Amino acid sequence: MSEMTEPTTEFEPRITAFVCNWCTYTGADMAGTSRMQMASNVRIIRLPCTGRIDALFIIKAFERGADGVIVSGCHPADCHYTAGNYHARRRFIVFRELLSFMGISNERVIFSWVSAGEGAKWREVVNETVERVRALGPFTAYHELASRQMVGGAYETEVELPDVREAPAEAGGAS
Amino acid sequence: MARIGVFVCHCGENISRTVDCSGVAKALADHPGVAVSMDYKYMCSDPGQNLVKQAIEEHALTGVVVAACSPHMHEKTFRRAASQAGLNPFVVEMANVREQCSWVHEAGPATDAKAIDIVRTIVEKVKNNAPLETVRIPLTKRALVIGGGIAGIQAALDIADGGAEVVLVEKEPSIGGHMSQLSETFPTLDCSQCILTPRMVEVYQHPRITLYTHSEIEAVDGYIGNFHVTVRKKARSVDERLCTGCGDCQAACPNRKIPSEFDAELGTRPAIYVPFPQAVPNIPVLDRENCTLFKGRAKGREKDLCGKCKEACLRSAIDYEQQDELIDEKVGAIVIATGFKLYTIGREQPEGLSGYPEYNYGEIPDVISGLQFERLASASGPTGGRIVRPSDGTVPKRVVFLQCIGSRDPEKGISYCSKICCMYAAKHTMLYRHKVHDGQATVFYMDIRTAGKGYEEFVRRAIEEDGADYIRGRVSRMYRDGDTVKVVGYDTLAGEPAILDADMVVLCTAIRPHKGNKNLGRKLSVTYDQYGFISSAHPKLRPVETTTAGVFVAGACMSPSDIPDSIASASAAASKVLGMFSGDELEREPTVAIVNERTCIGCFNCEKVCPYGAIEHIDVCNRDNEICGHVARVLPGVCQGCGTCVATCPSKSVELQGFTDEQIFAEINALLTW
Amino acid sequence: MTELQDLARKLLEDGTVAVVIGWEEGRRGPRPVSITEPDDTERLVFNARCVHNLATYLDPRRSQVRKLGKPAIVVKGCDTKAVAGLLREAQFKREDVVLIGMHCGGVVTDPAEQTEVTAETVAPRCAGCDVREPHRTDYVLGEARVEPPQNTSIDERVAALDAMTADERFEYWATQMEKCVRCYACRQACPLCVCDVCVADKTVPQWIERAPHARGNMSWHLVRAMHLAGRCVGCGECERACPMDIPLTLLNRKMQQVVAESFEYHVSDDPEVVSPIGAFRDDDHEDFIL
Amino acid sequence: MSAYAFITAEKLAELVADLMESGTRVIAPITTAEGRATYSAIEDLSEATFNQGLPMPSLKGHFLPPNEALLSWRQRGGDIELKPASTQFAPQLVLGARPCDVEALQVVDAVMNWDYHDDLWNGRRAASTIFAMTCAGVDDSCFCTAVGSAPDSARGADALLTELPGGYLIEFTSEKGEAFLGEHGRYFDTASDEAVAAADSLRAETRTRIEQNLVVDTARIGRWIDGHFDDDFWPTLGPRCNGCGACASVCPTCHCFDINDEQTGVGTGVRRRNWDSCQAKKFTVHASGHNPRGDQDARYRQRIAHKFYIYPSKFGDVLCTGCGRCVRACPSNQDLVEILQTIDGLAAVEEGGAA
């Protein structure tokens, strides 16, 4: 956090949301148009369709230290592209089990169908996810795996890496 | 090196009330790759847009990020503005700090931080945006209409009248479809033939319509604007160029006892026949399965057993040796209008449906279908419009109509409502009462559904003016009781059994899709529902489009529909076709997928997930020009840009322009920076 | 054995194929061999130590094998599932390869150390085998064999992991992932990993960190398991190939279980059986979706 | 320059404990909970399991880690700030390493100090004291004696231990080793003649046993490779090879790496070097897409040629110390012992010498 703001004592989760353009993104817009107040921890990445969401996106988000991930798209039968959400659903049926088996709690990956008219549901998804992840605490374990390797692990050169986690706030110091 | 311009909009106070807009602009000024960052009261206003345009020129920007409202709101506005300033519109993106930030959070550092994050994310994305050009694909301004019922006729005429050429393909020997079999039509009770026949003739005579009857679609290749269609013109055994339609051959045919399809098997026809007098074209077809000559040949007789029709024909138009003909047609658009068929009650039920053995249809001759009743009531029908019992030719005094035979009955395999039966049952009671003044019509129904102009009034008339008796309930059993049919039902309103004696029973059978729909669907990469009806691209927003670009759908092949609905959807499909034909090329959004053919391994998992059939196989050749493999290619004219193929491709060999892996990676990178 | 050698000789002599891919004895047990000369066919062997899934040699991008000409390949029933997987994904045409199927009575886990199939040595993948007689090969050789003892250790290990807390599982895998040196022996041994450029080798963008630290390794193995879900034939070659003894089959086995439970799909030796990849059902379960 | 001493097991444990106390890291072969042998940092000598199973992978990783950060960068405006990795390392003692692993370090030193001096490698080398231990051999894939090494070679080591009843005979073989003895003499006893004799006989016995596995003339092998780039022999090896890097990763002498930049955020990242293998298809792909080693025939030939012709031509030593790990690790049972035997045989026929 910047020098100008008090360091917050409570953990603020960082949540990345991958949403489809036609339903959930529009639903989130609708929440805005209706001035529904919600937690500000979620950052949206807009995609055409949940069918476009590769498991790699979620892996990368966790790798980078996201505390939670939301995936959201059109309800079944409502897909703008008729079937992208069905393919996504099947993909995530498998992927969430895999994540869980790898030890990444399903509590941190939230899937939802939010239609363009469900601004209120979007707010619920956002608020509930933020609260749930806040209760779980930060998820840095994946990110920190970079310092672990068996061979010569203790000899890992500790390059002093710039801690850019502070960078956005620093850049936003003007606020 | 990227030179991105960032333009933060206050939206009056809509954004600036909760977000420190100038702070955001300042924060972004330091961001790597940002050449200029500014804020302004109303970015979408003329002066605001001019700021963007000026900056593009002054700073030679390679990308523009407008931090303002939702892209659904003003993305087009700013892309147009950038375009006017000479920048490719696809390097302009919106950072949504209004709907998804200022309007949903209170003022404070967390909201400012989020706003900055949103803008940074989009800046990082835009650094990876590629300038894209509109996809242009050639266009053949010629349409294929599959099916010559009322929907196909309407679509063909509308398109042809609009100036484009039409190829109309009909499976039966004549166009006209089910409508030509009807007596009168609801809710006006005007004669079906009288309104249909002129349209059929119009099709036949239209200078821009090529009509193939007794023909089917053999194969379809290509994509929107550029379909190659192979039509199988089945052998008619009659030379159409020579035939005058005089009817001498029909009269000469000795084999006259073949059940007439047109009369719903209540009448008969010869082996060489014109299905009905007003048929278009008025050219007979020889039914080889029932022809004595061909049956003899099939059994291996060396000498033909008959030849009377050929002898009778003064024009020598009869050609027993005629073969099926394959005709290639190139078209730009296709309208599917294959219509429907009726639930084949009592007979063998295909596709896992179960019939109604308890009604003894087929056993009791006076239990008939609704279509058979139409033929009985029709002036051109086998009885000349007299309503009589098939068993003994007497006039039935008590006629019972059963609605929902098959429809709305998951047990029988059909959950949907067939939509037209309520109306035509009411019509039947009226037609019956008009012809048999002392007759009593009784209708067993589940619900009466009369949504449509004049429909409710029509049913009320049947009940109130023409005395039809409506019983809410279902019939569990029917059996022969001497001369009459015992109808055992239950009146659910009265809460008591309703056991009736009837002289004739009419079953209002469900509308079902043609068996051939699935096959046709596969040929056209068009999806169909669980029953086999053709699916729309979107049930609400794109009702007459299909999942394949350039293929449209009309009439009852989509779902049960009556004549006005069929015509409306046909005209809608025709207007879509004409819209498509309004330019010389087709223009498509460039946000489509492209395959890296060098890394594609040709597993075609992309093809399996593509909802639009946009993936084609192309050969890969080695240096000696021998085919050594296959890879996928996306047809840009067909792709709609969902990106499902991209996420499915194991080797990351497909990219979705506008949402590439690099762009999304950059966004994640920006959001979760360490 | 002579039956196999005779057939291989015949196929080479009459020009049906240009190379027969099978096993020969090596110092550390049988090993893959490509026989191009009829006189070399007597080197061919088949026994319980022939563990390799030779379908991996059908990868159309193995140019050193392709340039030998049309292959015949000796397969166990389980290997034919991998052949079916490759056919399902259009990697070659069925008529482009001659399949010599062998009746199989199970194989050992470690052919360098073990010779006979016993309850202790039998490979876990032989449990529940439904293709001890290959079904879709051009030839089926050998005698029908008795069913080997069952080794259910994989399912037990999966269940043991399932029983842990998420954090315990994470630590378990983190420790395993530390070992990975990204030699890609798993990928290269896998008959279904046939991408010309693997996602792990792509650097623009670099979805999978190339560095063999536990983070990059975990992402790599997650993606590999994901790419194999519904495709993996359970041959266990990845784990056998791993020089660091990472229990990769646990991941693949878990995915097999999920695919079986969720989509009623069991990997088949019939290429016509549609894989759950690229398919969906309107009523796929979604109890996890808000 | 060779000085013998004897150290009891107890004293060795004490020595190790004291070294650790003073900040020296101690690396030794251990057996993991899973039962695998590997080289690892220990906290107590009791963790060490000498001569029990061949550690996988080799000792190499402690000098050239599978991944190693070289530098980090950060972009600020138009400036890019670089922070190189430190090349200063805390002292470490490698205890009880196999001679094949230790000799490999010295072989690789040559390439690490040829046109470019690799400070990270050299830094670790300088910080390390290495006590090899006479090897009892593993199995019939051991062939150190065939490539000029030996189960009791002290080449590259500062000392060689030989396990005897009650303790270890230790022979200091370098200046660093002797300095070590000078500094830590209190832990060591004088070696008795009996102990030296017992060790000698043990060493001779192991050598003899391993010599039975393979005897070849590596110089002759190098000459044959030089003249047979397009020999029909190579395509008999390529088809079997899966093209993975299992052999290279477990090999004590393979030292190729790939340098890769990883973004950690906007304008920030780390440059790392990661183990690579010449058996990987992508190893030689040019930016144009052309691959001079187009198939596994060429790639496998490269592996053998580099180890037995190219490297010795440039640096003298063959790039192999006969540990046999590649033989044991190969999923397709590619067999270097057999390959060397075959080439040696071909060379013998051609040169008219004895096979």
- Residue-wise pLDDT tens digits, B404-421: 998 998 887 789 999 999
pLDDT score, position A175:
31
Please indicate if any CB of chain B lies within 8 Å of the CB of D267. Answer: yes
Query: In the prediction, which pLDDT does D353 show?
Result: 61
Q: Which one of D266, D290, D291 would you mutate to disrupt binding with B, by most B Cβ within 10 Å of its Cβ?
A: D266
> For residue D76, which residues of chain B lie inside 8 Å, CB to CB?
30, 32
Above 50 in pLDDT, residue A5? no
- Give me the residue from C170, C258, C276 closest to A102, CB to CB: C170
Contact list, C214 vs chain D (CB under 8 Å): none
What's the Cα-to-Cα distance from D317 to each of B345, C70, D103, D249, D321, rounded to whole Å?
90, 42, 10, 20, 9
Nearest CA in chain C to D331: C241
Work out the average pLDDT over B266-272. 93
Q: What is the rounded distance in angstroms from the CA atom of residue B244 to the CA atom of residue B230?
A: 28
Kindly state the average pLDDT of the residues D45-62: 92
Q: Which residue of C has its CA nearest to D264?
A: C209
- Nearest CB among A111, A143, A149 relative to C289 is that of A111
Task: Flag if B609 and C204 touch (Cβ within 8 Å).
Answer: no
What does the alpha-carbon distance between residue D37 and residue D97 come to, in Å, rounded to a whole number? 12
Are B365 and B396 in contact by the 8 Å Cβ rule? The answer is no
Q: Does D72 sit within 8 Å of A159, measured CB to CB?
A: yes
What's residue A117's pLDDT? Answer: 85
D168 three-state secondary structure? strand
Tell me what the pLDDT averaged over chain B comes to. 92
Closest Cα in chain A to D62: A152
B486's enclosing H/E stretch is strand B484-491
pLDDT tens-digit map of B11-44: 999 999 999 999 999 999 989 999 999 999 999 9
- B631 contact partners, CB below 8 Å, separation of at least 6: B595, B597, B600, B601, B602, B617, B618, B620
CB contact under 8 Å between B668 and A143, yes or no, is no
Which of B127, B601, B616 would best serve as a mutation to test chain C binding (most C beta carbons within 10 A)?
A: B601
* Residue A161 to residue D68, Cβ atoms within 8 A: no
* Encoded tokens for A31: 């929440």
What residues contact residue D236 under an 8 Å CB cut-off, 6+ apart?
none
The shortest C-alpha distance from A142 to chain C (Å) reads: 6
Decide the pairing of beta strands C19-26 and B325-331: unpaired
Q: What's the pLDDT score for residue B617?
A: 93
Residue type, B293: L
Mean pLDDT of the B579-605 span: 92
Q: Is D268 on the interface with B (CB under 8 A)?
A: yes
**Contact: D235, C33; criterion CB under 8 Å:** no
**Beta strands in B234-347, from DSSP E residues, in sequence order:** 258-259, 268-269, 272-273, 285-286, 325-331, 333-336, 340-342
d(CA D180, CA D196): 20
Model pLDDT for residues B71-121, shown as the tens digit of each residue? 988 999 999 999 999 999 999 999 999 999 999 999 999 999 999 999 999
D71 pairs with which residues across the strands? Answer: D84, D271
How far from each other are the two terminal CA atoms of chain B, in whole angstroms?
Answer: 23
> Rg of chain D over CA atoms, in angstroms?
22
Q: Which of residues 131-170 of C touch A (CB under 8 A)?
A: 161-162, 166-170
pLDDT confidence of A155, banded at 50, 70, 90? very low
**What's the Cα-to-Cα distance from B133 to each of B125, B136, B583, B629, B662, rounded to whole Å?**
18, 9, 18, 30, 19
Residue A162 pLDDT level (bands cut at 50, 70, 90): very low
- Separation of alpha carbons B16 and C9, rounded Å: 83
pLDDT tens, residue by residue, D246-274: 999 999 999 999 999 988 888 889 999 99
- Hey, what amino acid is at B480? R
Axis-axis angle for helices C248-263, A84-102 (nearest 10): 140
Residue of A4, A31, A52 lying closest to B643 (CB–CB): A52
Over residues B286-304, the mean pLDDT reads: 90
3-state secondary structure of D350: helix
The confidence score (pLDDT) of residue C8 equals 97
| Tens of pLDDT, residues B615-673 | 999 998 887 888 888 999 998 888 989 999 999 999 999 999 999 999 999 999 999 87
pLDDT in tens, A113-145: 999 889 999 999 999 999 999 999 999 999 999
Residue D318's closest CA among D146, D179, D161? D146
Mean pLDDT for the stretch of residues B115-130: 96
Q: Min CA distance, D63 vs chain C (Å)?
A: 15
* Cβ-defined contact of A100 to C181 (cutoff 8 Å): no
Q: What is the secondary structure of C185-234 as a DSSP string?
A: HHHHH-SS---SS-GGG--TT-SS--S-SHHHHHHHHHHHHHHHTTT---
Q: Are B648 and C199 an interchain contact pair (Cβ–Cβ within 8 Å)?
A: no
Pull the structure tokens for residue B396: 């039935």
Neighbours of chain B (3+ CB pairs under 8 A): A, C, D
pLDDT tens for each residue of B544-585: 998 788 999 999 999 999 999 999 999 999 999 999 999 999
Are A20 and A85 spatial neighbours (Cβ–Cβ below 8 Å)?
yes
Asked whether B339 and B557 are in contact (CB, 8 A), the reply is: yes
φ/ψ bin of B652: left (φ > 0), alpha (ψ from -120 to 50), beta (otherwise): left
Widest pairwise Cα distance in chain B: 100
CA distance C223 to C245: 19
Q: Give the pLDDT band of residue B346 (cuts 50, 70, 90).
A: low
**Residue D215 in tokens:** 């005897």
Contact between chains at A150 and D67 (C-beta distance less than 8 A):
no
- pTM, 2 dp: 0.81
A164 touches chain D (CB under 8 A): yes
Band the pLDDT of B523: cuts 50, 70, 90: confident
Q: Residue B214: which of B168, B182, B155, B246 has the closest Cα?
A: B168
Q: What is the DSSP track for D233-301? A: TGGGTGGG----SHHHHH-SS---EEEEEEEEETTEEEEEEEE--TTSGGGG--TTS--SS-SHHHHHH
Chain D: list its partners (3+ Cβ pairs within 8 Å). Answer: A, B, C
Helices and strands in chain B, H and E counts = 17, 34
Helix (H, G, I), strand (E, B) or coil at C35: strand
Q: Above 80 in pLDDT, residue A172? A: no
Subunits in contact with chain A (3 or more CB pairs closer than 8 Å): B, C, D
Q: Do C89 and B651 touch (CB under 8 A)?
A: no
Q: How many CB atoms lie within 10 A of CB A88?
A: 27
- Please say whether the beta carbons of C163 and B566 come within 8 A: no
Rounded-to-integer distance, Cα B557 and Cα B563, Å: 13
Least Cα distance to D149 among D327, D329, D319, D336 occurs for D319
Q: How far apart are CA B225 and CA B556, in angstroms?
A: 25
Rounded to the nearest angstrom, the minimum Cα separation between C272 and chain B is 14
User: A87: which chain B residues are within 8 Å (Cβ-Cβ)?
Assistant: 609, 644, 647-648
* Candidate from D235, D280, D329 with C-beta closest to C243: D329
Residue A15's pLDDT band (boundaries 50, 70, 90)? very high
Which residues in chain A are contacts of D65 at CB distance < 8 A? 149, 151-153, 155-156
Mean model confidence pLDDT for chain C: 94
Instruction: Report pLDDT for B135.
Output: 87
Contact A160, D83 (CB under 8 A): yes
Helices (H) and strands (E) in chain A, counts: 6, 4
Q: Assign A157 a pLDDT band (cuts: 50, 70, 90).
A: very low
Chain D residues closer than 8 Å to C37 by CB = none
Instruction: Tell me whether residues A104 and C219 touch, CB distance under 8 A.
Output: no
* Chain B contact set for A51 (CB, 8 A): 609, 642-644, 647
Of the candidates B429, B530, A15, C57, which has an alpha carbon nearest to the alpha carbon of residue D332?
C57
**D256 lies within 8 A of chain C by CB:** no
And the tokens for A76?
A: 């079944």
Residue B479 CB partners (closer than 8 Å, separation 6+):
B360, B364, B485, B486, B488
Chain A contact probe: residue of B129, B639, B642 with most A CBs at under 10 A: B642
**Minimal Cβ distance to C278: which of B601, B648, B652:** B648
Q: Which two tokens stand for residue B86?
A: 């000479």
Percent of all residues in chain C with a pLDDT value above 90, rounded to a whole number: 84
Residue D29 touches chain C, beta carbons under 8 Å: no
Question: Residue D168, Cβ neighbours under 10 Å: how many?
Answer: 26
- 8-state DSSP, D86: P
Smallest CA-to-CA distance from B553 within B539, B570, B540, B538 is with B570
Min CA distance, D84 vs chain B (Å)? 18
Residues of B with CB under 8 A from a CB of C: 599, 601-605, 607-609, 629-630, 648, 650-653, 661-662, 665-666
Interface contact B673-D77, CB threshold 8 A = no
Residue C184 to chain D, least CA–CA distance (Å): 6
Residues 6+ apart with CB under 8 A from D51: D29, D96, D133, D135, D136, D163
* A63 in D contact zone (CB under 8 Å): no
Res B375: pLDDT: 94
Q: Mutating which of D24, D62, D75 best tests the A interface, going by the most A Cβ atoms within 10 A? A: D62
Q: Nearest Cα to B636, choosing from B662, B663, B610?
A: B610
**Cα radius of gyration (chain A):** 18
CB contact under 8 A, C207 and B609: no
Judge if the upstream peptide bond of residue D57 is cis by omega within 30 degrees of 0. yes
Q: Across the interface, do B609 and A87 touch by the CB < 8 Å criterion?
A: yes
Q: Give how far Cα D100 sits from Cα of A70, B597, D145, D148, D257, Å.
A: 52, 47, 10, 10, 21
Whole-angstrom distance, CA of residue B30 vs CA of residue B414 = 65
Q: For the segment A81-113, what is each residue's pLDDT rounded down to a tens digit?
A: 888 999 999 999 999 999 999 999 999 999 999
Structure token digits, residue A129: 């996810």
- The backbone torsions φ and ψ at residue B4, rounded to the nearest 5 degrees and listed phi first, read -100, 140
Taking the C-alpha atoms of residue A159 and residue B176, their distance in angstroms, rounded to an integer, is: 81
Alpha-carbon gap, residue A48 to B141, rounded angstroms? 31
Are B602 and C198 an interchain contact pair (Cβ–Cβ within 8 Å)? no
If one compares C56 and A147, the residue with the highest pLDDT of the two is C56
Q: Are C15 and C98 in contact (CB under 8 A)?
A: no
User: In this complex, do A55 and C173 lie within 8 Å of one another by their Cβ atoms?
Assistant: no
Cβ pair A112:C289 closer than 8 A: yes
What average pLDDT does this structure show over D178-193?
92
Instruction: Indicate yes or no: CB of C195 within 8 angstroms of CB of B601.
Output: yes
Report how far residue C186's alpha carbon sits from residue C242's, in angstroms, rounded to the nearest whole number. 6
Question: In this structure, are strands B340-342 and B511-513 parallel, antiparallel, or unpaired?
Answer: antiparallel
Q: How far apart are CA A58 and CA A45, in angstroms?
A: 12
Instruction: Please answer yes or no on whether B652 and C90 come within 8 Å at the CB atom.
Output: no
Task: Using alpha carbons, select from C89, C92, C146, C149 the residue that is nearest to residue C123.
Answer: C149
What is the reported pLDDT for B246? 92
pLDDT in tens, chain C (290 residues): 689 999 999 999 999 999 999 999 999 999 999 999 999 999 999 999 999 999 999 999 999 999 999 999 999 999 999 999 999 999 999 999 999 999 999 999 999 888 899 999 999 999 889 999 999 999 999 988 888 888 888 999 999 999 999 999 999 999 999 999 999 999 999 999 999 999 999 988 999 999 999 999 999 999 999 999 999 999 999 999 999 999 999 999 999 999 999 999 999 999 999 888 888 888 888 888 88
